[in-house]
Amino acid sequence: MAVDYKALKDGGFMRQTQKNHFSLRLKAIGGNFTAEQLSTIAEISKTFGCGQVHLTSRQGIEIPFIKLDDVDKVKAELEAGGVYTGVCGPRVRTVTACQGAEICPSGCIDTYPLALEISDRYFGRELPHKFKFGVTGCMNNCLKAEENDLGIKGGYTIEWIKEACTLCGVCAKACREGAIAQTESEILLDETKCSNCGRCVKSCPFDAWRGEPGYILSFGGTFGNLIAKGEPVLPILRDKDALFRAADAALAFFDKYAKPGERFRVTIERAGWEAFRQTLETEMEAAYNG
């Protein structure tokens, strides 16, 4: 029987230079693996591979030098150890994430549970071309949100609480955007300069800034053959429902307007950024009312 390389590739088995060998891509979410999963992976690598793994640029793990004859066995043994194969081809790929608010003091949003939700909802979904999601917890952008077809960045919508403020002077210095000015009696915020970074909230010793977590989305990032950074199209979104409505609308737009084999970026540019923005807003509105 002829080998179905495409099916193998869709299931994460990447053909190697060496005949009949595959580099096996594993399913990863937000770059987190448990110690048990790592033990399973190590065992498989020693038994069926070359005793080595490769860490990919998108927080994944590949086990190279898996032989064609062992593919089914390897898959079964991995699954028994709670490890699943990844995907390749024209579909939603590994969802990446930084450590976020759970672990990182700078984080404005809890990135890992969000990456899990996104992965549950979209991972493997077929589209005109590959599609990457990435979640970064704050403006420091360790996860580089704008490299992704759809990037998500945590931010705070802020509000000054006059009664709690001692005019200590810390927030005005912590702000890198020059959005905060301090007078003898109050703090003045220039919202047009505010980047939602949340540094004022994090630095205030007296909890005199309230920070409401939100999501800043970027669309159309790609860092392969074509290099372009994702662009913000919507204002900061305050809740997760809105985030998923926007993501649903973006994927529907891609499905509807893309020529086969075209990256999301190219589709948006052909349709026009303004048309894309309007579609998003209309679809989000419809989903909200529906």
Partner 1 sequence: MADFQIDAEADITDVVCPVTFVKAKVALEELEDGQIISIRINDGEPVQNVPRSLKEEGHQILKLSANGDETYNLIVRKVGE
In terms of CB distance, is 72 or 184 closer to ligand SF4? Answer: 184
Tell me the residue type at 162.
K
Q: Which does 141 bind (CB under 5 to 8 A by kind): partner 1, ligand SF4, none?
A: ligand SF4
In terms of CB distance, is 137 or 220 closer to ligand SF4? Answer: 137
Check binding of 195 to partner 1 (CB under 8 A). no
Question: Contacting partner 1 (CB under 8 A), which of 173, 193, 256, 259?
Answer: 173
Check binding of 112 to ligand SF4 (CB under 6 A). no
Q: DSSP letter string over 25-85?
A: EBP-BTTB--HHHHHHHHHHHHHHS-S--EE-TTS-EEEEEEEGGGHHHHHHHHHHTT--B
Alpha helices by DSSP H, listed for 142-272, are: 170-174, 199-203, 240-257, 264-271
Check binding of 185 to partner 1 (CB under 8 A). no
| DSSP one-letter code for 16 | P
d(CA 149, CA 145): 9
Tell me the residue type at 287.
A
d(CA 167, CA 249): 44
Of residues 147 through 176, those in contact with ligand SF4 by CB under 6 A are 156, 158, 165-171, 174-175
Closest by CA to 130, choosing from 216, 226, 54, is 226
Alpha-carbon distances, residue 16 vs 9, 25, 62 (angstroms): 11, 12, 12
118, HSE (Cβ side, Cα atoms, 13 Å): 30
Q: Which does 94 bind (CB under 5 to 8 A by kind): ligand SF4, partner 1, none?
A: none
Compute the chain's Rg from CA coordinates.
22
Quick one: which segment of 3-11, 66-74, 123-131, 169-177 binds partner 1 (CB under 8 A)? 169-177
Check binding of 30 to ligand SF4 (CB under 6 A). no
Check binding of 174 to partner 1 (CB under 8 A). yes
In terms of CB distance, is 173 or 270 closer to ligand SF4? Answer: 173
Check binding of 179 to ligand SF4 (CB under 6 A). yes
281 by Cβ neighbours in 10 Å (0-12 / 13-18 / 19+) ranks as middle
Question: Contacting partner 1 (CB under 8 A), which of 68, 88, 170, 287?
Answer: 170
Is there a contact between 59 and 31 (Cβ–Cβ < 8 Å)?
yes
In terms of CB distance, is 9 or 210 closer to ligand SF4? Answer: 210
Check binding of 228 to partner 1 (CB under 8 A). no
d(CA 286, CA 52): 50
Check binding of 95 to ligand SF4 (CB under 6 A). no
d(CA 112, CA 4): 35
Check binding of 169 to partner 1 (CB under 8 A). yes
Check binding of 167 to partner 1 (CB under 8 A). yes
Q: Which does 165 bind (CB under 5 to 8 A by kind): partner 1, ligand SF4, none?
A: ligand SF4
Q: Which does 18 bind (CB under 5 to 8 A by kind): ligand SF4, partner 1, none?
A: none
d(CA 159, CA 285): 27
Residues that bind ligand SF4 (CB under 6 A): 98-100, 104, 106-107, 136-138, 140-143, 156, 158, 165-171, 174-175, 177, 179-180, 187, 189, 194-200, 204, 206, 208-209
